[in-house]
A and B are shown apart, each in its own frame.
Chain A
Amino acid sequence: MIDDLGSEKAHKSPQSQKINDFCMTICTVNGSGSATANITLLRAMFHMGIPVSGKNIFPSNIKGLPTWFSIRLSDEGYLGRVAHDDIIVQMNPATFQEDINYDIPGGVIFYADHIDLPIQRDDVVVYPMPVKDLIKAADIPRNLRDYMENMVYVGVVSQMLGIGLEYINKALLQQFEQKPSVAESNFAVVKMAADWAKDNLEKKDRYWVEEREPLEGYMLADGNTAAALGAIYGGFQFCGWYPITPATSLAESLGIYAPKLRKDPETGKNNFAIVQAEDELAAIGMAVGAGWGGIRAMSSTSGPGISLMTEYMSLAYYAEVPLVLWDVQRVGPSTGLPTRTGQGDLNLTYYLGHGDTQQLVIIPSSVNECFEFGWKAFDYADEFQTPVIVLSDLDLGMNLWITKKFDYPDKPIDRGKILWEEDLEKFESDWGRYLDVDGDGIPYRTLMGNKHKKAPYFTRGTGHDEFGNYSEAPDVWLRVMDRIKLKFDNAREKLPKPVYRNIEGAKIGLIGMGSTEPAIMEAQDILNKMGITTDFMRVRALPFSQDVRKFIQAHDRNYVLELNRDGQLHQILVTEYCDLTDRLVSLSYMDGLPLTAKWIVESLSEKEEK
């Protein structure tokens, strides 16, 4: 939910009608080109001023398996997943019966009428769509017919629910920005299907889409694009990456936007480089090399890639090399559910590396925050001279969300403690690569190419002293590792602090992170109506700020809500605050789908009853 998205806009309607408050799932086969149609519907409703969210539930497959796209409309601004469907658009014979059973009583089913299967339900409104006939009647090239079938449901659904065709047209023009003629031919099919529906279908259901004031200051975007743009505005200079769902579109977006945004205006030359590596072992090696060389370096991957990157991340921690690593989480263990979402990499990333390794982890919850953390991550990495992991997930990264417009960074790029020739010349104290001059645990670094006689040093993953010299001495090891720990402790209050949504008088705390935020806020409202008042704290970084302890202490019981089996955030909290364990209750869940408010409400109220 977006808090300031107007619940006051919620339109009081007669009980029998459902306006701008329902979920519609479109069931298709992947590879059929339905994505364009689905996003068109989503965008059109957004342009009508209605808070919408779209979730694509897709298989790990290129063509021929079932795919679902769920659009939720909510005047009140609830964007989390709901587990039921009000409306089903059925284009896929393979899942015909199963999907239809998901529809609630009083719901609606649109279906392609060439699917010759019975609908054994008399508690729903059914609209057949003569998809094939309409396409046949239109003059559409043979190779485009399958694809255009999708535009038929766009037209029929729009007509029956009251989605203005001018908004569909606008959405299509936006989708086919470069090819207005394609937008035009798509729209012709939409129009034809809408006309057919007007003449042949009688409205019997209770669902309506109604226009609202435009959603000023908001837009529709996905987290991976936002992350890439954030990196571009954060001055990224090098990205080494290897394709993996759901992270691929992050690096690919870099490849689309960076050449436009990051050319030197005078020479037309790039001040960045992107290299598709041979695997994640190399992708992270490249990023470590680049970060060490003094350019803003990054990589993006998902769980399996993180596993392969472990050893270099351990080296980067100990050799104190800045870089930014995005983990767009999918579902593990192993290959797991590669196209489903989860929050199962928290433990892995926080402790990524062998021995006494610990990493800085920041966790965005919205598309807007993906942009913000996208640029800030580089400043943190440079400031603390260590990798920063940004923990996103498939739901946030790949789905389109309604989000606030991106804000231009409010502070200049900060490269941290770097010494060039003239800085070294002026440097008053002794300089050693790992010498803590300022007492904050953060030493100064020189970069290759620095011609000052004192500048060069040798970097190694083996034991080293304050000057980078090889050492196995116990006291040296202890000293260096303690200093790195000091640096990490100093990061606690500088990384993004938790954010809160408090309800007056609450004794119960909710703790969550990342993309489950909308479901948690919605659950909070439902619980409130049930008489269970809660405060919500969303943690945004590890290691934790002092504020986290304060919040836990201020509440009798704190439910830690997360999308994984074992309650990993709960585990870390319990480890960090062992004196507060009796105040921490784990509520975690994982089936590959985004968390729902319903699940939170049910499992929390059950616990509260005990």
Chain B
Amino acid sequence: MAEQDNTNAIGLTRADYKGERSTLCPGCGHNTISAQILYACYEMDIHPSNIVKFSGIGCSSKSPTYFLSQSFGFNGLHGRMPSLALGAAFADTSMKVLGVSGDGDTASIGLGQFKHLIRRNLPMVYIVENNGVYGLTKGQFSATAEKGLELKYQGVNPFLPIDIAKEALIGNASFVARSFAGDPQQVRSLLKAALSHRGTSVLDIISPCVSFNNREDTLHSYQWGRQHEAPLHDIAFVPTRKSIILDEFKEGETKEVTLHDGSVVVLKKLEKDYDPTDKYQALQMLEEAERNRWLITGLIYVDPGQPALYDYMNLVEEPLNRVPAEKLRPSAEALQKINQSMG
């Protein structure tokens, strides 16, 4: 490797990507995801000042303070981070926008904003730390809790769950992936791919809540996740500045997906002939997985060509928040003309 072990290509150390100490429960899946966000940004040489973080409300939504203290961030309202992030993104469209949400935050109170974010395809990474419960309010069922789940104070959940990846796909998301907090390598690879995608990248990450939902037989537990995880493919992420494929990449059939910034995600097919650019197949696969109680992880769908929100806006090049005030006020002559037209 060319670069020093302890600095990346822009001369920063991992410490430069750190945040405050986490106050989440030890062992909480959200913590391992925070760590992977840190690594992914470090390894992709993204300067923290080029990242802006958003979240809703929940244990998961607290986590943006636990990574990247050198980035601006805004912890918004329950279920309404998408609108907050969208408005802010317009202030400087060159920033990488990173959002962290929970399953309650996204699939219950925030389902509307989530779907509309996707529909507009705002360039941002949207991470759902999905544990099937409301952690912060102490263990109520969330809308992603599986049917039949029994929790201590809640009884049995009678309803079928909302599948976040499926919702995203049906909502015409341009990037849909799922992973499992217990598989840090895959989380990191998918994060890197998501960070390179120009559009809304939905990452549904199963993230066990060790305090309220970690029974061995439930979908959102570590044990179950480890046993039932069915990775779609091995993923290697190749940033643009590197021209060779990583050593660890194994032999086998591959499919390359070129992302907007020119970087390439390489997917190794496993036993199934899986094409992540085929939406029909993606839907079919998710449906099948649900029937079989498989936890499908990996890049489920990507369309790098889908226009992003900014494409419709004809915006000036420089960040809007740096446009000098003089440029924001039309001339007196123009006002005179308006007055005349109304007179």
Contact = CB atoms under 8 A, between A and B. Distances in A.
Interface of A: 174, 177, 218-221, 229, 232-235, 237-238, 240, 257, 261-262, 264, 267, 269-273, 275, 277-279, 281-297, 311-312, 315, 319, 405-406, 408-409, 412-415, 420, 446-451, 453, 455-462, 470
B320 A312 contact: no
Given A405-B343, A406-B339, A451-B49, 4 more contacts: A232-B330, A270-B313, A293-B87, A456-B73
14 contacts: A221-B342, A233-B329, A233-B335, A271-B315, A271-B327, A279-B112, A289-B76, A297-B87, A405-B342, A406-B339, A448-B72, A448-B92, A450-B72, A459-B74
B317 interface: yes
A270 B317 CA distance: 9
A267 B320 CA distance: 14
A307 B52 CA distance: 29
Contacts of B77: 285, 311-312, 315, 461
Given A232-B330, A282-B113, A293-B88, A457 B72 contact: yes
B218 to A, nearest CB: 30
B339 A448 contact: no
B73 A459 contact: yes
B314 A285 contact: no
B83 A286 contact: yes
Contacts of A257: 338
Interface of B: 48-49, 52, 54, 64-65, 69-77, 80, 82-92, 94-95, 112-113, 116, 120, 313-317, 319-323, 325-330, 332, 334-335, 338-339, 341-343
B86 A275 contact: yes
B75 A290 contact: no
A441 B150 CA distance: 52
Contacts of B54: 289
Given A292-B74, A296-B328, A458-B73, A229 B338 contact: yes
Contacts of B82: 282, 285
A497 B323 CA distance: 31
B314 A270 contact: yes
A264 B338 CA distance: 19
B73 A285 contact: no
Q: Which 4 A-B pairs have the closest CB atoms?
A: A293-B91, A285-B83, A289-B87, A235-B328
A219 B337 CA distance: 12
Contacts of B323: 237, 271
A557 B80 CA distance: 48
Contacts of A414: 325
A453 B92 CA distance: 18
B75 to A, nearest CB: 4
A58 B85 CA distance: 39
B113 A285 contact: yes
A454 to B, nearest CB: 10
A412 B83 CA distance: 30
A289 B74 contact: yes
B329 A413 contact: yes
Given A456-B72, A458-B65, A415 B90 contact: no
Nearest to B115: A278
A254 B315 CA distance: 16
Given A220-B342, A285-B113, A470 B65 contact: yes
B17 to A, nearest CB: 12
Given A273-B90, A447-B91, A261 B334 contact: yes
A456 B70 contact: yes
A282 B116 contact: yes
A257 B317 CA distance: 21
Contact of A269 (B69, B113, B314): B314
Contacts of B48: 456
A420 B321 CA distance: 10
B339 A219 contact: yes
Nearest to A367: B342
Contact of B91 (A219, A233, A290, A455): A290
B90 to A, nearest CB: 5
Contacts of A457: 72
Given A295-B321, A449-B319, A456 B49 contact: yes
Interface core residue of B84, B319, B332 (most chain A CB under 10 Å): B84
